[in-house]
Structure 1
Amino acid sequence: MNEAHFHLVVNHLPIIFPIVAVIIMITGLIYKSDAVKRTAFLIFIIGSLTSIAAMTSGEGAEEIVENISGVTENFIERHEKSAELFSILTYILGGLSLLGLWASIKQKSFSNFLNIGILIFALVVIYFGKETGTTGGEIQHTEIRPDYQYPAPIKKNDTEDDY
């Protein structure tokens, strides 16, 4: 497995973990379950740690894909900038989740406000995760690029037999 392959394996995790954790957090808030909310905090923290793997493998992946036909530095740079911002946001989310976990365990009075704040911040992180995933996909998947021109449909020759 080369660095580009490893990057493709781990780069989805920082996007997926916050989505899962938001669903769990909402469930915990609805059912007023501290255990469920703590589970969401742990998943946010794990998601921020997976961001480290995605970021550290990105440079090696860049060295490999920049030599592939159709890949331009422009797409790589856009993805790199988006990924840097997204990773910082995931680290902040992980730190806030540590605080939220501590506040929940210690049953601090501000815990409920912190839970809502972390949930809202997580939604922002998910948005930037989507942006990062899209810019990463555009590097190799020309069909998702905004300027992609769909090819004209192939017309079947009327004289050919259908098989």
Structure 2
Amino acid sequence: MNQAHVHLLLTHLPIVGSLLGVLALLAGFAFRSEPVKRTALGLFLFAALAAIPTFLTGEGAEEVVENLPGVQESLIGRHEDMASLFIWLISGLGLLSLATLAASFKSNSLSKALYAVTLVVSLAAMGVATQVGATGGQIRHTEIGSATAQADAGQEGGGVYGGEQEERDED
């Protein structure tokens, strides 16, 4: 198993962890449930910890795929830029989650403020996480790239992969 395999195995954990954490935190606010909000903080911590090996295996994954046919360096660069932003955001969210968790056991007023800040930071992290995933997917899944979609739209009957022609029944 090479670095690309490891990167692909890990890559979904911080993204899904961020999403589930946001959903759990919103549910915790909606139901006014401290245990649910604390679960969200745990999910954010999990996502932050999972992001570390995911980020660290990215360079090795690049070495594996950068010379493959159809892989564009510009797509890798965009993915790296988004991943660099994400690792800072998710790391900050992990630390903020620890502080919020500690405060949730001690001070109600501080806890409320920290939960609000955590929600804002988690929404930002989740937004960047989706962009990291999207740009990473475009590296090897050309069918989801915007350039491919535009090229396909210009072809009559072009399917997802651009070379297929659909038969049309003129009724």
When the two structures are superposed, what TM-score results if normalisation uses the length of structure 2?
Answer: 0.86
**How many angstroms does 1:108 deviate by?**
3.9
Percent of residue pairs identical: 41
Q: Distance in 2 between matches of 1:152 and 1:86?
A: 39
Q: Which residue number corresponds to residue 57 of structure 2?
A: 57
Q: Which moved more, 1:23-32 or 1:83-92?
A: 23-32
**How many angstroms does 1:34 deviate by?**
1.5
Q: Distance in 2 between matches of 1:55 and 1:48?
A: 11
| 1:28-81 C-alpha deviation (Å, 9 max, x unpaired) | 112222111111111101100111011011011000001210102111111111
Residues 93, 147 of structure 1: CA spacing in aligned structure 2 closer, same or farther, 3 A cutoff? same
Q: Which residue number corresponds to residue 13 of structure 2?
A: 13
Unaligned 5+ runs, structure 1: 157-163
Q: Does 1:39 align with 2:20?
A: no
Q: Distance in 2 between matches of 1:139 and 1:26?
A: 33
Q: Which amino acid aligns with 1:143?
A: E
Unaligned 5+ runs, structure 2: 158-164
Q: Does 1:121 align with 2:121?
A: yes
Q: Which amino acid aligns with 2:38?
A: R
Q: Does 1:82 align with 2:82?
A: yes
For the aligned residues, what is the CA RMSD?
1.7
The DSSP-based 3-state class of the residue aligned with 2:109 is coil
- Segments ≥4 residues shifted beyond 4 Å: none
**How many angstroms does 1:147 deviate by?**
1.3
Q: Which moved more, 1:146-155 or 1:106-115?
A: 146-155
Residues 84, 78 of structure 1: CA spacing in aligned structure 2 closer, same or farther, 3 A cutoff? same
The DSSP-based 3-state class of the residue aligned with 1:67 is coil
Number of residue-to-residue matches in the alignment: 158
Q: Distance in 2 between matches of 1:4 and 1:132?
A: 16
**How many angstroms does 1:101 deviate by?**
0.3
Residues 110, 66 of structure 1: CA spacing in aligned structure 2 closer, same or farther, 3 A cutoff? same
Q: Which residue number corresponds to residue 132 of structure 1?
A: 132
**How many angstroms does 1:92 deviate by?**
0.4
The DSSP-based 3-state class of the residue aligned with 1:90 is helix
Q: Which amino acid aligns with 2:27?
A: T
Q: Distance in 1 between matches of 2:22 and 2:127?
A: 12
